[in-house]
Amino acid sequence: MISGGNATIIVASMDDSIRFYTEILGLKLTNRFGNDWATVSAGEGLTIGIHPASPKYPHPGTKGSILLGLDIDIPVEKAVSHLASQGVTVKGSVVRSEPGNFVHLEDPDGNEIYLWEKVQQEVRNAEMNLTTVQ
């Protein structure tokens, strides 16, 4: 079910943080979605997600400002069903967006974890059209 993942950090400045991770540390920028989210590759198996500070996330450097994201290789609905059968409480509903489908949950200590189902562009276009029609 889980095929990879990333650690996400909340930052004060997207541009400064991306510059730090890419130009200073030499990591590769793999995605950037405006000022909402970016990812850098830190080598085989480690992706660092970068999100700007916002009312939704704790201030950079405080508890909760680092999140765990796990890539899944099955449809997000199947993952939710499996986890629910194991007693895991999912927070909210599935979010469908350009980079893929997401669902949030918490570990036993309240640390946020999100599951990310990457979706091919053709599938994404069909889902977006369905959402628009409804």
Q: β-strands 90-97, 100-106: how paired?
A: antiparallel
Can you give the pLDDT at residue 118?
87
pLDDT digits (tens, 9 = 90+) for 54-94: 887 777 777 777 777 888 889 999 999 988 888 888 888 99
- Percent residues over pLDDT 90 in the chain: 25
Contacts of 52 (CB under 8 A, 6+ apart): 10, 11, 12, 13, 14, 35, 36
For residue 134, pLDDT over 50 is answered with no
Q: Supply 132's token pair.
A: 């628009």
Mean pLDDT of 25-45: 88
Number of structural domains found in the chain: 1
Q: The domain containing residue 7 runs over which residues?
A: 2-133
Can you give the pLDDT at residue 57?
77
Mean pLDDT of 3-17: 85
User: What CATH number has the domain bearing residue 119?
Assistant: 3.10.180.10
Helix (H, G, I), strand (E, B) or coil at 83: helix
For residue 121, pLDDT over 60 is answered with no
Can you give the pLDDT at residue 133?
46
Spatial CA neighbour of 12 closest among 47, 66, 40, 52: 52
